[in-house]
Structure 1
Amino acid sequence: MNKKVIATLVLSSVVASAFAMNAGAAPDKQVMKNEKGAVHNVVGNLGKVSGATAEEKAFAALEKVKGDFGFAKADGNFKVKKSHKDENGTNHTKLDQVINGITVFGQQMIVHEANGTVEGVTGDFKALKANAAKAKLNEKKAIDAALASANVASDAEFAEAPVAELVYLPQGDAAVLTYKVSFSAMGEEAVRADVFVDATNGSILNTINKIEHAAAVGSGVGVLGDTKSPLNTNNVSGTYYLEDLTKPMTGIIRTRDMKNGTSRISPMTDTDNVWNTTYQRAGVDAHYYAGQVFDWYKSNVNRNSIDGNGMSIESLVHYSRNYNNAFWNGTYMVYGDGDGTTFRAFSGALDVIAHELTHGVTEHTSGLVYQDQSGALNESWSDALGATIDGNDWLMGEDLCIPGGGYTAFRSMQDPTLYGDPAHMNQYVNTTDDNGGVHTNSGIPNKAFYNVATAIGSRTVAAKIWYTASRDYMTSTTNFSGARAATLQAAAALYGSGSANYNAVANGWSAVGVY
């Protein structure tokens, strides 16, 4: 298997930004467009709006930019999804585009407003013509069609039961009424996917595979033979479990055992709270590193777990046999043991665990669609946080590679070309493989993050900018150009638009050909 295929399994067009001034606009108003001429940001002091809530102000703000984005009015074209107030008091209100009251997949706007002043609007609006107003197919038939298309066995164990939601799927200038069927199934081939089933005829229009690769105190030995202490566990009637109850979260951090199967889950236990058997090593690392990832997010960006609301972090080790992979399936972090020749147990690398859990964070912030440029950003954001939380080098997954097995790492953020990935937009790979090259083209934003972090002199500061961008300034279909704009907005919010950090972000993206 070649290196690119391995890297894809493991961790799960030059862009230009045009600026134009509108007649009669505020003096500092900037309309930002991508290489195809589509507006993705309107920024500046856009004026005052009134309203009793952030949501009401958001609708008023959209009226100020409707001519820029190309919609006639906000009412009837959008509905509020959620609103968040950041540390500076700015409200970031996300709205979904709707047709006939039904969400248009991937089409969102974010209004940035503070004390009634509109600071900018981020988004993606398309004037689409709906093919139908009502479904002809029922939910059960849509789910059956989706599962059949994904080859899910009839007796599969579901981590997330199939759910069908009516959405419009953009297809050129049309909005096709579909059921978005979402599910996560365990098995020899784990699958977590969104399958879009045409609600009028049952055909499959698109599939997005969302498997993203790659209060007692004890001690344990990890995959690399190193001691992990303290190891937070739970004592129940003299038996110790890999359950961490010490974190300030509503849930817990828990690690369990799949015993080289693919569906049955068993607790990991010990009698003396010294976890030092060879079999326990994978569980020790999964548990210890999950706690470190939680601690980084809580300490540095005040995020309480993956969803921001204290959800449990569940890890499963010893998945299947000789399984060269790790993945986040929306509920669990799942780790294979590796084949023992090429790769070690996949819980043995902090950067891999931070990478995979950050996929969960992204799912709850920007929700970047795991396809094409937004998917490459999804991968890159996980690499950026993985490299930051690990902090030792700019390689991903090097601790998993067994000497002599043919691989030294999966990716390099410092020099993506070492592992066959592009480091500049003039090397961008247009492909339909791997959801549009999400692992390959992530090399470009990866290099941008490396540029920014090294220019600033702090991975943590750069990661705070990246996290804030995903939380407040990126939609689910943000592309590379939009990511540059989002990280600049985040840098301005955190450090000021005239700061050295802001300039480092601008220069970091320019160096990889993203403007």
Structure 2
Amino acid sequence: MNKKLVTTLVMSSLVASAFAIHAGAAPADKQVLKSENGKVHNVVGNLGKVSGSTAEERALNALDRVKADFGFAKAAGSFKAKESHVDELGTAHTKLNNVINGIDVFGQQMIVHEKNGDVAGVTGTYQALVPNAAKASIESIVAIDKALAETGVSETTHTLTGALDAQLTYLPVGDKAVLTYKVSVNALGDTPVRSDVFVNAVDGSIVKTIDKVEHVVGTGIGVKGDIKSINTTLRSGAYYLEDTTKPMTGMIRTRDMKNKTMLIYAMTDADNKWDTTYQRAAVDAHYYAGQVYDWYKNNVNRNSIDDKGMSIESLVHYSKNYNNAFWDGAEMVYGDGDQVNFTYFSGAVDVIGHELTHGVTEKTSNLVYQGQSGALNESWSDAMGAVIEGNNWLMGEDIVLPAYGYSAFRSMQDPTIFGDPDHMSKYVNTTSDNGGVHTNSGIPNKAFYNFATAIGSRAIAGKVWYTADRDYMTSTTNFSGARAATLQAVAALYGSTSSYYSALQTAWSDVGVN
């Protein structure tokens, strides 16, 4: 979450078409929504009734209703169902992946929104692609070795934090679908790694790498010296930072890396008074992880990151003078900061809310960490961090020290004070930072601020953003698609004639996203 200083601002023109999205009660007329580059991202309205004994069957039939709008010939054989979720109002949101030769196409998904056979909309992206091959010429183990070499991960330098798996995936490259093995590499070491590496399944070359580490520049006493009540576990005469009081199948657990990069140690205390200076980072990580869990459970009824009660793991004292905190796909990892620019990264609840929301997003829309979808990934985490903290619109202000030169990482109220754009006319085109994911997050951040302050409720705004992420966004949703997704969410929750709906329209329009 560090400031990415991007030196070149390129003014981009926005060709905007305004559409009113009438969700909830199905609209009378079909509307085709497009982004600023003319690409269809939503078809909404009364799309008719479809048959089928399952949500998946109905979704495939619904896709045939919009095939001309998105540009595919037929749904059967082109899409396969991934999952279906029925929301609190009984609407089924069925996600389907685009496939070629039965193999997933990276980033091309559809979501069908349907209730009792009545189709109210289809969200997604589609591009006709020509595959370079129908089957792999190299073994998956070869692709894994190539991915490890590409990321510099070895047994002597890193500890893997997730299983290595090579999945055949078509990667869009221009108008081609390149058959690749998608290898996810998650590892801790002097340089932490969390990357998706796409290895050409024909010749073994590296086609693309997406770095997903978000590089960010009893009782216990926290980082700021405040006293907190924390839930611990007594075992064999010692207290552990393990909270089993939540209604989850797992637990909230905090452990220690002792300023190393590969080994993990239990964090224990003899009398359950966690009051040493060394323990402060762990106290805050443990307490704030519970606070984030509670917000999601109490406000949107989500049971932990995966909504299935998974454990929330935190590791503190990672490496030496490490100015970073990140979600590595399995757990939270916190550096101590260099104590010049930053103090302990676990000392800010908005940082922890931000990072754990990356985990939630990974389990819902799974926004690809590049370009506009990556900026939305960052922005959604900022928004939920601000909602959970609840008292200002700055990010990371509690851990920033004077030498950093800024009072925080970002501002949602005024992104420009940290050099980030607050309007599409200021959008930054860059190849650095995965296409400016931190910088351009200022635009949707400002839209969230506009909405939350207009309606006077961070909690309601957060619920709308969460619902949009869960039900109406795909992995490659762009800014225009995010506007449509949040409007569909607010309509489903509160109605398309509500004051919330009109406030949200204005919030996005005021940042140039239509």
TM-score w.r.t. the length of structure 1 is 0.95
Indicate the larger mover: 376-385 or 339-348: 339-348
More RCO (CA 8 Å, sep 6+): 2
In structure 1, what residue type is equivalent to 2:277?
Answer: T
Match of 1:48 in 2: 49
> Which runs of 5 or more residues in structure 1 are unaligned?
7-12
Give the Cα–Cα distance (whole angstroms) in 2 for the partners of residues 487 and 254 of structure 1.
Answer: 33
Give the Cα–Cα distance (whole angstroms) in 1 for the partners of residues 16 and 247 of structure 2.
Answer: 42
In structure 2, what residue type is equivalent to 1:463?
Answer: G
Matches within 5 A, 1:49-128: 49-128=50-129
Match of 1:160 in 2: 162
Retained in 1: the 8 A contact 2:3–2:410? Answer: no
Retained in 2: the 8 A contact 1:387–1:396? Answer: yes
Cα displacement (A) at 1:15: 4.4
Q: 1:448 to 1:55 in 2, by over 3 A?
A: same
Retained in 1: the 8 A contact 2:421–2:440? Answer: yes
Cα displacement (A) at 1:340: 1.1
Indicate the larger mover: 63-72 or 354-363: 63-72
Match of 2:412 in 1: 413
In structure 2, what residue type is equivalent to 1:344?
Answer: T
Q: 1:396 to 1:164 in 2, by over 3 A?
A: same
SS at match of 1:435: helix
CA shift digits 1:74-107 (9 cap, x unpaired): 1000000000000000000000000000000000
1:201 matched to 2:200? The reply is no
Cα displacement (A) at 1:153: 3.2
Q: 1:50 to 1:158 in 2, by over 3 A?
A: same
Give the Cα–Cα distance (whole angstroms) in 2 for the partners of residues 17 and 111 of structure 1.
Answer: 25
CA shift digits 1:141-185 (9 cap, x unpaired): 111111111222342210013211100000111101011111101
Match of 2:260 in 1: 261
1:392 matched to 2:391? The reply is yes
In structure 1, what residue type is equivalent to 2:486?
Answer: T
CA shift digits 1:450-498 (9 cap, x unpaired): 0000001011111100000000000000000000000000000000001
Give the Cα–Cα distance (whole angstroms) in 1 for the partners of residues 13 and 219 of structure 2.
Answer: 51
Retained in 1: the 8 A contact 2:4–2:433? Answer: no
Cα displacement (A) at 1:71: 1.0
In structure 1, what residue type is equivalent to 2:424?
Answer: M
SS at match of 1:212: coil
Alignment RMSD: 1.5
Give the Cα–Cα distance (whole angstroms) in 2 for the partners of residues 251 and 505 of structure 1.
Answer: 37
Cα displacement (A) at 1:18: 3.8
In structure 2, what residue type is equivalent to 1:193?
Answer: S
Indicate the larger mover: 153-162 or 92-101: 153-162
Match of 1:9 in 2: none
Match of 2:227 in 1: 227
Retained in 2: the 8 A contact 1:185–1:192? Answer: yes
SS at match of 2:161: strand
CA shift digits 1:322-381 (9 cap, x unpaired): 001100000110000011111110000000000000000000000000010000000000
Match of 1:337 in 2: 336
Match of 1:10 in 2: none
Match of 1:180 in 2: 182
Give the Cα–Cα distance (whole angstroms) in 1 for the partners of residues 195 and 330 of structure 2.
Answer: 13
Retained in 2: the 8 A contact 1:362–1:470? Answer: yes
Retained in 2: the 8 A contact 1:373–1:480? Answer: yes
Cα displacement (A) at 1:406: 2.6
TM-score w.r.t. the length of structure 2 is 0.95
Cα displacement (A) at 1:16: 4.3
Number of residues paired by the alignment? 500
Retained in 1: the 8 A contact 2:5–2:419? Answer: no
> Which runs of 5 or more residues in structure 2 are unaligned?
7-11, 21-26
CA shift digits 1:404-441 (9 cap, x unpaired): 54331000000001111111001100011011110010
Retained in 2: the 8 A contact 1:383–1:446? Answer: yes
